[in-house]
Amino acid sequence: MPFLLTTKKTAGAYVFWFKWLAVMLFTSGVLVGFVWIKQVAGNQLDRLLNLWQSFFFASSNGLVQDGQFVAIFLVKIWVALFFCGLFWLGLLGMLGLIAAYGLSVGLTAGFAIQYLGLEGWKFLLVTVVPYQLVMAPALILAVLCGIRFLVEKSQAVRSKGSPVLRYLAGHATVGICFFIAYLIQIKWLPLTLTMLS
């Protein structure tokens, strides 16, 4: 793919289209997940409702205080995004991760709204939306950092400054966003769940 980057205009087009591709994959993942939840069979729905209620009970009673699981999860995603952004094939993995993440968000939103009604809306607005307002842009930023780094690293585009330093600064920003998401998940979520219950 680097041999296709012959001009600065072509390189700018790559960055533009990859940006919109990342946004569209996330959005389509959310929509597919939202629609997919309607296809859940009765016994699977009962199981999901039991899992939902046990999570609600555990979170609102302070049983989920340990943020180690969330921290390990976010660090693994950050490391995977960092290393995937160094290679052209890694960008495909990053785009797949964004689509899968959007699918999980859509499944959560669809389940909460369709099967829990007003309680689901409250849950989404208070617990899911603040976290997603940080995570979704951070994931898209990671893809943009990767595509820009690969375009600038190619022989076709020479820009001022070091592409490596820009890549590191971009992923440092993604890491800060992940840390903010971690704080939301660990501090905000238990507080809001106790208020909702």
Which long-range contacts does 24-28 make (Cβ < 8 Å, 24+ apart)? 25/95, 25/98, 25/99, 25/102, 26/98, 26/99, 26/101, 26/102, 26/136, 26/139, 26/140, 27/102, 28/99, 28/102
Residues 111-120 pLDDT 10s? 888 877 887 8
Within 10 A of 110 (CB to CB), how many other CB atoms are there? Answer: 21
Distance of CA 133 to the CA centre of its chain: 10
pTM over 0.95: no
Range of the domain at 149: 2-196
Number of domains in the chain: 1
Residues 159-196 pLDDT 10s? 667 888 888 999 999 999 999 988 888 888 777 777 76
- Token pair of 80 as six digits: 């995977």
Beta carbons of 84 and 150 less than 8 angstroms apart: no
